[in-house]
Chain A
Amino acid sequence: MIHSSQGGTSLLEVDGLSVDYGLKGVSSRAIDSVSFALRAGEAVGLVGESGSGKTTTAMAIAGLLSPNARVSGGQVRYRGNRLPIDDDAAMRPHRWSETSVVFQGAMNALNPVHRIIKQIAEPCMLKLGMSRGEATARARELLEFVGIPTDRGSAYPHELSGGMRQRVMIAMALACRPSIIIGDEPTTALDVITQAQILKLLGELRSQLNLALILITHDLSVVAESCDRVMIMYAGRIVEDGSVAEIFAQPKHPYTRLLIESIPNPASGKKMIRPIPGDPPNLVNRPLGCAFHPRCPSAMAVCATEVPSLDKLGRGRVACHLHRSSQDKVAVHA
């Protein structure tokens, strides 16, 4: 059940992955049977509200699940080899060498007491076995590469602007020449102009280095600017997957449609953001059937009882009873 939007060899395959969090004896499912594939050089947006499982999905791929997380099903394969994502120590060689992460709010993601050059050089020394001198030279190259004057290398994080810190974070992510970069809300907390610059930088790096990019965001407009493909997540499941162009032109899942409608669009004179009615789903006590049905404007009786599977539709995938073939659709309108 591995789907890739345009075929070709997969760099990364996520297959039926489920992750639970245990907290004070209560277990809640953060992601449920998530499957997708990523090709080399591809840029995928992972979009959803907080609690939709987008961050858990990304952290599972990077091997950064927290200690109270448990992989309850499925697997992740990198270049065809299964990754030991629930084994902290066994994942260590994979981290940063194959998959690196650009965290949000680089202020706290960078260590305040070390100069930035040292933080960039660190993985080169520890992971690539470079000498201090080699690592520093590489860190200088990387700084230049992301557009920071090399003499700023001796600065501490607090001496740089938010955009500069995000660039440092990107330079650091490139240190071990990974093939996948995960951007965890990399432009949140930046002003619009800086945001555009950072997205542009990521785009350039991707094409120059043939990097696959997974961009986690709650902001569809960011995805529209910088990704080929988008996956919409809701309550721990992928509800829709398709090319950016198709999804924006013709959203199939009602949730996707509402998300797109809620993007403020100054051009069309629509100033008010229309929030999606209803509350985000409760993961401990999730609704039966489709998790979105209590908020869905097109909900049917079957939606409350049966979980829709993520099926191929056109060139993408969608998990919605509205789009199932007519013979097994019990079309009773609610």
Chain B
Amino acid sequence: MSESTVRYSPRGRARAIKGFLRQFLSYGSAQVGLVCLVFFLVVAAVPNILVGPLQTAINATGDFLVPPSGQHLLGTDEVGRDVLNLVVHGARISLMIALLSTVISLVVGTTIGMTAGYYGGRVDVWLMRLTDFFFVMPSFVLALVITPVVLEVMGRGGEILGFRPSLFVILVVIGMTSWAFVARIVRSQTLSLKERTFIDRARVVGSSNFNIMVRHILPNLVPQIAANGALVVAGAIYVETSLSFLGLGDPLQPSWGTLLSLAQRAGAASAGAWWYLGAPGVCVLTVSLSFVLIGNALDDTFNPRRRVIP
């Protein structure tokens, strides 16, 4: 584990960050991952500028299932929508779900792991028993049975911040079911940090437990959380794509997984419409691989011997 504990002066911290970046960017895989990721983030940020508003069956611009051409770079779908338009808008949906669910997962995982590790005793035992359950049960399996029930309870109407509520259901369910991995790592790190002298010093000075956790322990967990966070995103993309493929996404705001589901229902594979199912799939593969590569490079940087990939 990283032996450095954060007690830098501002200048020392800047130097540490610079050294870290130099090391991190020296990995070819990290460079490839970052370039791909930045590309997709830009695409997701301004889809309207790039390809105009999301096309629907009503404002579709082409014929049915036309192969790629100068007019439709990635061809059209079964109702004549431009696949490029769908995929670019899908980037916004897919990335939003993946990143927000990761935030939830990291917050929940860090909170539970840190609390369990810091307080120990009974708190630890019960929190870890809970964590064990979520560790053993894959997010996909839990989400598969929880998501439809929650959708039924909430209904699918309306919009929140420009996104359909069903998307929020999916992202919250993914986030709430994929934190166990993070909690375990954070707990073991907290256990070792707790014994360090600077924590004792803070305790002697009279800092509250909350203060110690947030000010002294949390900053030292950042490397672990970052490296694992990248892998959590990759996992979230996988779960979201699978759930949406099974029809739990929102057809009015299609993610890449929902597009694959629509392609499947339209019989794109047996019609040989490779562009229709190929485009969203390549996007999923690229983004997911980027996060895996970045996660591996982060892990190699922070701690050269161990690898994160299970």
A/B: CB atoms within 8 Å of each other: no
Q: A-contacting residues of B (Cβ < 8 Å)?
A: none
